[in-house]
Structure 1
Amino acid sequence: MSDNQPPVTRVEQPLTDDSIRVRQLSHYQFSWVAGEPGAGGTWTLQLVLDQGAWEEVLTINGEDADNLQDLLSTANDVHFDVGRRVLMFGTAPVGSA
């Protein structure tokens, strides 16, 4: 290797589905499961990521379900960080205001 070339970054191999940490949201589905009589139910949000390469199910409360529905129905670009379990809405190029 020439002294003028930058060092090559070593990537751990093999690269697998489990090693990809941030994925793009392809589809989503809200579900509500009834609780015991007189008790509240449980909301879940199923995330289909990278066209089905990964799926995640989140248990959420009713207020979060309402807020997330508003965000998901208007966002053009949504990503999910699998390790941190974080939904990220939209992207902007560096330097945009």
Structure 2
Amino acid sequence: MSESKPQAERNTESAIKVRQVTDVHANWNEEGRGQPGKFSFQLILDNGAEEYAIRPPAEDADVLMELFNSTDVLYFDMERKVLIFSNLSLGG
């Protein structure tokens, strides 16, 4: 028998629109021999409370990797599908 969450808890969780990205898993897959591949990033939100995958083109994936490495805190707006980078380290 599976336990379900109380309605109030489900309502609270569904009301959360912006979550902290607590981990990022990167992935690349081959589309076909000699063909360009596809990148994806799996965003782990609030230590696993939610997950979301983004599939940027290669040029954007390169920029995202730099931003991931340059930020202290990262958020994801679930409603608008927006990554929010906080406290960027702007090295020269």
Q: What TM-score do the two structures reach when normalised by structure 1?
A: 0.75
SS at match of 1:60: coil
Which consecutive unaligned segments of at least 5 residues does structure 2 have? 1-6, 88-92
Query: Would you identify which runs of 4 or more consecutive aligned residues in structure 1 move more than 3 Å?
Result: none
Mapped pair 1:81 → 2:77: yes
CA distance in structure 2 between the aligned counterparts of 1:69 and 1:36, rounded to whole angstroms: 24
Pairing partner for 2:60 from 61, 64, 68: 64
**Larger helix proportion, structure 1 or 2?**
2
Q: Report which of the two structures shows the higher radius of gyration computed on alpha carbons.
A: 1
Q: Aligned residues: percent identity?
A: 35
Q: What TM-score do the two structures reach when normalised by structure 2?
A: 0.78
Q: Alpha-carbon deviations, 1:23-54, whole Å to 9, x = none?
A: 00100011001012232111001100101100
Which consecutive unaligned segments of at least 5 residues does structure 1 have? 1-12, 92-97
Amino acid at match of 1:55: E
Q: C-alpha displacement at 1:90, in angstroms?
A: 0.6
Mapped pair 1:17 → 2:13: yes
CA distance in structure 2 between the aligned counterparts of 1:30 and 1:51, rounded to whole angstroms: 17
Q: CA RMSD in A?
A: 1.5
Q: Alpha-carbon deviations, 1:42-82, whole Å to 9, x = none?
A: 10011001011000001111111110111111200111001
Q: C-alpha displacement at 1:83, in angstroms?
A: 1.1
Count of residues in correspondence between the two structures = 79
